[in-house]
Structure 1
Amino acid sequence: MSDDDDFMQASDEENYDFEYEDDDEQEEGGDVDVENKYYNAKQMKVDNPEEAIDEFLGVPALEPEKGDWGFKGLKQAIKLEFTLGRYSKAIEHYTELLTYVKSAVTRNYSEKSINNMLDFIEKNAEDDQANQCIEKFYSKTLESFQATNNERLWLATNTKLARLWLAQKDYPRLTEKVGELHGACQLDDGSDDPSKGTYSMEAYALEIQMYADTRNNKRLKRLYNRAIGVRSAVPHPKIMGIIRECGGKMFMSEENWKAAQSAFFESFRSYDEAGSMQRIQVLKYLVLTTMLMGSDINPFDSQETKPYKNDPRIAAMTELVDTYQRDDITQYEKVLKQNQDLLADPFIAENIDEVTRNMRTKAVVKLVAPYTRFRLDFIAKRLSITIAEVQDIVGFLIMDKKLRGKINQDAGTVEIESRADQDRMHAVAEWTTAIRSLAGFVLNEGEGFRADDPGMAPPMMGVMGGPMTGEAGAFMSSQRPANAGKRKGNRGAGK
C-alpha cells in the first residue's frame, strides 16, 4: 500500500454519516492549521526530506490531544528517518506512534497502518544496521500489542520477524519462532485452525525454505508433503509459489526431473497469479528441468507460459533449450558463454553443468561414430573443451556401455571395438561351446569312441587341443570364415 493510504481508513467501526459544519470557527481553524502543516510537509518530502521530517514531527504538537493527524505525521516522519538511516530516531518516534493505537485511532486502521509500516522498513533495509533496527521495530510492536490481545497483528509481526531471521540465516531462532507460529495456528485438540490458515501456511513456507537452504531433504520432503496436503486453508498464491519452488529444488537434487518439472510449473502459476517477479526466475528453472529431462516438448507451449516466450529476461534460457533440443553443441556453448549472468543464480549454476555434460556426451557419440580409433585432442578441439573433459566423457560412455573401447592415456587415443569384430568373437565363442559339447557327448556316449579304445584316442585329442584330421578336420576348416585371421584396417581420427 502506498504512502497515501492515509485517506483510506478501513474500519468496521467507522461511521460514514454526514457531519454538518460546526459554528466554532476557532476549532475549525485549528484543524485547518494541522492539515495544512501535514500536506505542506508532504510536498517537501522529495526535495527536502530533512525539513519535511521536522514539519511532520510538528503536526502532533498542534493537536490538543492525540488524533489522526498526529498519527499520520509520525508515520511519515518515521519512514523518512529510516530511509535516511536515522535508525535511533525512527525507533524513538515509532515507540511514540504505538501510543496512538490504544485510543487515538481505530483498531483496524492502526493494525493496517502498523503492518504497512513494518512492510515498508522490511523492503527498505539495505544493511546490517537497518536489520538490527527492524528487529527492534518488531519487538516494540509485540510489546505494545501483547496487552491489547490483538492476535492477528501478533501473528503478522511474528511472521515478519521469522522472515527476517530466515534472511539472516539465524536458523535456531527461526526454528523456535516457527514452532510458536504453528502452535498459535492450532486448535486445542492439535488440529489446524481454519481461521488462521494463511499464517499456518506461511509458517510452513518459512520452515520449508530453511530446510531447502540447509539441504535437509529428509525433513524438507516430509514437511513439503504435509504443506501440500493442507486443505483447511486457502493460502496466498505467493506462499504456494514459495512452497512449490522449494519442492522443485528438492526433486531436482533427487534427479526426479518429472516431479521437479511439475512443481516448478505449479510454482510459476502461483507466482504469476500473485503478480510476483519471482515467476521469471522459476520459469528459468522450468526450462532448465525440461533440458535435464531430455524432453522434446517446448516449455512455452502451455497457455500459462506462452506470453513469456519472447520476454527478454528469459531470452537466454529460450535459446539454450532450443539449441539443446536441436543437439547443436556449438550454438549451445556460444549462448552459454555470452550469457554468464545466468550463472549468478546458484541453483542454475549448480544444475547447468549437468545439461552441458549431456550436450557434450551426445556430441562425442556423434563425432566418434565413424571411427575405430581416435585421438582425445581431436575431440577436444572440435568441442572446444579440455582433453581432461573429453577423457572424462569417454570414460563415462565406456562405463555406461554406450561406447565399447579402451583409453590409451599415454598415447592419448581411444580404440573402439567394431561391431563386426564383436559379432565374429561371439560366433567363435558359440562354435567353441558347441564343439566342446559335441566332444563331451561322443566321448561319454559314443560306442566307437570310448576312452578305453586306444586306437581312437589321438583323433579325439585333436578335437580338444591339437589339429584335427580327416573328415572332422575338413568340417572345421569349412566352418571358418573366409576372412578369419585378417585384421580390419583402422580408420583413424585426427592422426
Structure 2
Amino acid sequence: MVNQRIDSNMKLILVSLKRGKLEDVLKWVNETRTRHGPLESIVAAQVACAHALSHMGLREYKSAALEFLDVDCVALGDTFDQVILPHDVATYGGLCALATYDRSEIQQRVFENDHTWRALGLAPEIRKIIEDFHRGRYAACLEHLETIKKALLLDMYVSRHVEWLLGQIREKALLEYARPFASLRMSTMASQFRSSVPDLEEELMALNKKNKLEFANVVSIDPQNAKWCFKAYRQMVKIYCRLGEYEKMMDASRKMLKYIKGKYQGDSVYRFLQSLHLDLNRLQKLYEITVEALEENKNQYMTVWFRTCLELCNVLFENRQYTPISKILNGLHKYCQKEDGTSDEDKTRDLRKVYAVEFQLYTETDDNINQKMQELYRKALAIKPDARVHIDHKTIGLLHECGGKMYMAERQWTEASVAFRAAFTNYCKDNNQRYIKCLKFDLLASMMGSNLAPFDTLISEGKWSEFGLALGICANHPEILALKASIDAYQNQDFEEFERALKSNLEHDTIISRCMQDMLQKMRTQAILNLLEPCTTKKIGISFISTKLGVTEDEAMELLRLLILNNGVHWLVDEVEGYVVRVD
C-alpha cells in the first residue's frame, strides 16, 4: 500500500515537472518524504533530484546546490533518465554552488566533503572549473565556463539560468581577485581577466550595486587612476545614500571630491548632487563639503563652484539659516567681477542670479529692507539680457517675486501686483511651481488695494494676453480655489472662515504675514462700521461687537479706538460700562 502511494506521488512529481508546476513539485516531494518514512535509496535520490530542480526553477540557487550535491548519484544511476542523469546533477549542483557559496562554504562543502567531491567527478569539467576558481586561477575558470556555455544554453533545465549563474561567478571572481590588495593597477587586473581597462572599469562600476560591502572591496583599486577612483567613490556615495548610512556617505563624498580632475568631472559632481534624495539638513552638509572641496581649486572649477554655491544658498533658505548666506554672497559677487573690481560683462547672467539670492535674503530677514531692496531691485532690472544665451526665467521670476514683496511692505499695492504678475509669467515659462504662489500674492495685493473681486479683474484684464491664458489654466488649482474661498468669505463678512482660509494659504511668508494682519484689521474695521452706521440706538455692547467679529473684548476695544481716531466716527468707547456710545 505504501509503495503504491509512493509510486503515485512520483508520477505526480513527474507530471508537475513536465508542466512546470514547481510549487506542486515541492508539495509532493514534502509529502513523500514526511508521510512515508525512510525511502529506498533510488527513490530518495529521485525525490532529491526533483526537489533540486524545483528550487533551481524558482531561482533558489543555494537551496538547489545543497540538494543536487546531496544526491546519491550511484543509487540514481539511469533510473531517472527521463528527467535527469548523474552528469547533469553534478553540473547543475557545481554551477549553483560556485555562484552562491562563499569561499569558506566551497572549502567545507565541496573540497572537504568526500561525497560531494566524488559526485563532481561525474562532471570533470565542472570540478576543474571549481578548482581553478578556488585556487585563484580566475582567467582559466572563466575561459572554461565560456567553453561550456553553448552546451548549457541548449539544456532544457539550466538554459534559463545560465546568464545569471555565469554572471554571478564572474562577479565573485572579480571581487575575490581584488580582495587581498591594498592597491592594484587597473591594467594588471584587466590583463588577468582578458579585458580592456575601459571595459573593466565599466564592469566594476556596475558590479553588485546592491551590496556595498562587496563593492567596498574593489573601490580602492588603482588609486593612481583618478577617473576610476572618482567613479568608484561616487558609486559608494549613491549606495550609502540608498542604504541610509549617511556618515559613511559623507566620508565617501570627501574621498570622491579629492579625485575631481577636469571640467567634465566638476560638472558631473554638480549633476550628481542634484540627483540624490536627502533631507534638507544632510543635503546642506553635502553641499557644504562640496563647496569646501571646490574652494581649494576654485580657479579651475569656477563655474561649478558658483553653481554649487547657489544650490547651497537655496538649501540654506529652506532651512532658514541666513547668516551663512551673507558670507557666501561675498564670494559670489567677487566671481562676477574682474580683477580690478569692476563688473564682468560676460557674467551679467550670473550677476542677476546673485542679486536674486541677495534680494531673497533681504526679504526673509527684513534687513534694512526699504533702502537696500529698492536699490538692488533697480540694479537687477537694469541688467540687459544677453542675446547669446537662453533667458533665465526662473531667476527673473524670483527677482520680480521679491520685488512684489518689497512693494507690499511699502503698501504700494498696484506696484506689488504688477511685480507678482511678472513673476507669475516668468515662472510659467520656466514651468516652475512657484507661479501658483505668485498668483496668490497678486490676488492678495489686489484685495489690499480695495479690489474686492481681484480674480475676476485679473481674468478680464488679461483675457487675450499670454498672462490671461496661463491664468485660465490654473484657475481651478486647489490652492487658488482655496484662496477664492477666502475672497468669498471676505465679501460675505465671514470672519472666521476668512481668517482660517487666509492663514492656511499665506501665513508662512514673513512679509505676507504682516500684510495679512493689515488685511484682517481692515476687514474687521469695515465690519464695525457696518454695525455702527445703521444703528439707531445710543449704545452698543462691546461684547456684542466682539462676538460678531470673533475676537476678544480687548481686541474689539482696540479696533474701536483706532476706528474713532482714524475715521472720525461719532462714537466713543465707554470702557467702564463696556459700551460704545453714540455722540450727537
Give the shorter-chain TM-score range.
0.5 to 0.7
Mapped to 2, the partners of 1:59 and 1:194 lie a distance apart of: 48
Report whether the alignment pairs 1:93 with 2:257: no
Mapped to 1, the partners of 2:555 and 2:223 lie a distance apart of: 79
Report whether the alignment pairs 1:365 with 2:532: no
- Equivalent residues in 2 for 1:71-470 (5 A)? 71-82=230-241, 84=243, 86-98=245-257, 100-102=259-261, 107-120=262-275, 124-127=278-281, 131-143=284-296, 145-146=297-298, 149-163=300-314, 173-187=324-338, 190-215=341-366, 216-217=368-369, 218-231=371-384, 233=386, 236-299=392-455, 301=459, 302=462, 303=468, 304-324=470-490, 327-330=491-494, 332-337=495-500, 341-342=504-505, 345-347=508-510, 348-372=512-536, 373-375=538-540, 376-417=542-583
Q: Which structure has greater helix proportion?
A: 2
Report whether the alignment pairs 1:66 with 2:225: yes
- Give the CA deviation at 1:133: 4.5
Q: Which runs of 5+ in 2 are unaligned?
A: 1-190, 463-467
Mapped to 2, the partners of 1:406 and 1:172 lie a distance apart of: 49
Mapped to 1, the partners of 2:323 and 2:501 lie a distance apart of: 41
TM-score, with structure 1 as normaliser: 0.66
- Give the CA deviation at 1:224: 1.9
Report whether the alignment pairs 1:41 with 2:208: yes
Taking a change above 3 Å as real, the CA distance of residues 318 and 172 of structure 1, as seen in their structure-2 partners, is: closer
Q: Say if 1:237 and 1:273, in contact at 8 Å, map to a contact too.
A: yes
The amino acid of 1:90's aligned partner reads M
TM-score, with structure 2 as normaliser: 0.57
- Give the CA deviation at 1:169: 6.0
Mapped to 2, the partners of 1:337 and 1:72 lie a distance apart of: 52
Mapped to 2, the partners of 1:149 and 1:29 lie a distance apart of: 31
* Matched position secondary structure for 2:208: helix
Taking a change above 3 Å as real, the CA distance of residues 38 and 221 of structure 1, as seen in their structure-2 partners, is: same
Q: Say if 1:204 and 1:223, in contact at 8 Å, map to a contact too.
A: yes
The amino acid of 1:355's aligned partner reads M
Taking a change above 3 Å as real, the CA distance of residues 62 and 310 of structure 1, as seen in their structure-2 partners, is: same
Q: Say if 1:342 and 1:349, in contact at 8 Å, map to a contact too.
A: no
1:434-479 deviations in Å (ceiling 9; x for gaps): xxxxxxxxxxxxxxxxxxxxxxxxxxxxxxxxxxxxxxxxxxxxxx
Q: Say if 1:141 and 1:157, in contact at 8 Å, map to a contact too.
A: no
Taking a change above 3 Å as real, the CA distance of residues 167 and 370 of structure 1, as seen in their structure-2 partners, is: closer
Q: Say if 1:221 and 1:250, in contact at 8 Å, map to a contact too.
A: yes
- Give the CA deviation at 1:290: 1.8
Mapped to 2, the partners of 1:180 and 1:250 lie a distance apart of: 25
Q: Say if 1:368 and 1:374, in contact at 8 Å, map to a contact too.
A: no
Mapped to 2, the partners of 1:343 and 1:253 lie a distance apart of: 15
Highest RCO, 1 vs 2 (Cα 8 Å, sep ≥ 6):
1
Taking a change above 3 Å as real, the CA distance of residues 212 and 298 of structure 1, as seen in their structure-2 partners, is: closer
Q: Which runs of 5+ in 1 are unaligned?
A: 1-23, 45-50, 419-495
1:73-103 deviations in Å (ceiling 9; x for gaps): 432321332455544533443344345442x
Over the matched positions of the two proteins, sequence identity in percent amounts to 24
CA RMSD of aligned residues (A): 3.4
Number of positions where the alignment pairs a residue of Structure 1 with one of Structure 2: 376
The amino acid of 1:392's aligned partner reads E
* Matched position secondary structure for 1:305: helix
